[in-house]
Amino acid sequence: MTTLKLYNVDLSKKNISLMILYKRKFYFFVILLLIIASKALGQDPHFSQFYANPLYLNPAFAGTINCPRFSLNFRDQWPEIKKNFITFSGSYDQHINVLHGGIGVLVSADIAGAGIIQTYNVGAIYNFRVKVSDQFNLQFALQGNYLLTSFNSAKLRLASGILDQLDLSDLPDGIVPSRSQFDAGFGLMGYTSYLYFGLAIHHLLPLQKKFINNPTLQWDPKWSAHIGGKVSLVQKVRNEVNFGDIFFYPNLIFISQGNFYYLHEGFYFNFYPFTLGTWLRHNFKNLDALIISCGIEYKIFRIGYSYDFNLSKLEHTGGAHEISLQFTIPCNTDKMNSVARKKNNKISPVECPRF
């Protein structure tokens, strides 16, 4: 009996020690997650297929191909990490003559830590087009957003008999399950038949996210500047794209937000209907990633895939996979132009890549 009692006492102490150990690990995980949150919520998620998600890059792209367009995007960043980052995006845009410009709707969702941290964004865009000359057009866009962020502490409950005994009510005070805010953005773009450039500013209104009473996390304004061109190497019929036509698209994109900034240099090579692209992403001190993309397009349908090869210390995270889909609803551009000609404002689409 004495031996059994001593054994029971030791076992009880062992259980208590395990519970203390798991509890410490639990709080360490929460603190680590909040550190990740400060990075994830302080900065916008990014996409590597910039022109496959045009409204996300710059709201001034709304209505730039004239016909109605649907875009869907999916990004899986750092898949080798169990609690990685998943980002979705969907948009619709088209040109409307009576509005002298384009309209657009953009929806995005960013899910980090298997759903522990979630950010949802719904935006509406109006884009006004100005014909400066026969060869040069300007577009000005305003964007209004509704932003919802949440921290789902229920996701922290792990399937362990010992952890189930922990009281999650004693998490740090001030954790906020969700918060909604309004936001605004602005975009500008100019283009000719062979050159396009633009500037976008996101988060013009102050945005905050508070997980713990101190500190307060804040989104900084995001600046995006881009310039690119189209070089026709082989084009059988002018103003038409046919099988075997060859185009080259050099591009440069600079994105800055808070203390983070990235320069993207790359190009697309289009041998219609196939497209290959490569990009280098870096700041002025270190390399971040080499991006390789490929895609196929046929009439109203486009599909693209890209992979980010990490060149930084995060090389063992699995990079990032990204998939894009685009659908264009055919429209009578001749009729649109006939109406626009009466107002001396012929509609010209932006000749930029689609991936």
Is pLDDT larger for residue 3 or for residue 203?
A: 203
Tally of CA atoms within 13 A in the half-sphere of 132 that contains its CB: 10
Provide the pLDDT for residue 11: 40
Share above pLDDT 90 across residues of the chain, in percent, rounded to a whole number: 49
pLDDT tens for residues 199-221? 999 999 877 655 544 445 567 89
pLDDT tens for residues 94-149? 999 899 899 999 999 998 766 677 889 999 999 999 989 888 999 999 999 999 88
Residue corresponding to tokens 């936001």 = 183
Q: Which of 151-160, 216-225, 237-246 is the most confident on average?
A: 237-246
Rounded-to-integer distance, Cα 256 and Cα 60, Å:
18
Provide the pLDDT for residue 186: 97
Say if residue 23's pLDDT is above 50.
Answer: yes
Provide the pLDDT for residue 1: 36
At 30, give phi and psi (nearest 5°): -65, -45
Provide the pLDDT for residue 104: 97
Q: Tell me if 204 is assigned to some domain.
A: yes
Query: Residue 72: pLDDT band by 50, 70, 90 thresholds?
Result: very high
Rounded-to-integer distance, Cα 80 and Cα 327, Å:
31
Say if residue 323's pLDDT is above 70.
Answer: yes
The first and second tokens of residue 44, run together, are 């916008």
The Cα angle at residue 193 between residues 189 and 199, in degrees rounded to 5: 15
Q: Tell me if 350 is assigned to some domain.
A: no
CB 327 within 8 A of CB 304: no
Q: Tell me if 353 is assigned to some domain.
A: no
Contacts of 19 (CB under 8 A, 6+ apart): 162, 165, 166
Q: Tell me if 37 is assigned to some domain.
A: yes
Residue corresponding to tokens 């935006």 = 123
pLDDT tens for residues 59-70? 999 999 889 999
The lowest-confidence range among 136-140, 240-244, 286-290, 342-346 is 342-346
Q: Tell me if 352 is assigned to some domain.
A: no
CB 55 within 8 A of CB 61: yes
Query: Residue 19: pLDDT band by 50, 70, 90 thresholds?
Result: low
Which domain CATH number covers 204?
A: 2.40.160.40
Q: Tell me if 355 is assigned to some domain.
A: no
Task: Give me the domain span that covers residue 288.
Answer: 2-341
Q: Among residues 54, 191, 65, 75, which one has the least CA distance to residue 125?
A: 54
Provide the pLDDT for residue 152: 66
pLDDT tens for residues 169-202? 444 444 455 678 899 999 999 999 899 999 999 9
pLDDT tens for residues 256-314? 998 888 999 999 999 999 999 999 999 988 899 999 999 999 888 999 999 999 998 76
Is pLDDT larger for residue 213 or for residue 75?
A: 75
Rg (CA), the chain: 25
Mean of the per-residue pLDDT values for the chain?
80
Q: Tell me if 94 is assigned to some domain.
A: yes
Provide the pLDDT for residue 212: 46
Share above pLDDT 70 across residues of the chain, in percent, rounded to a whole number: 71
Total structural domains within the chain: 1
Q: Tell me if 60 is assigned to some domain.
A: yes
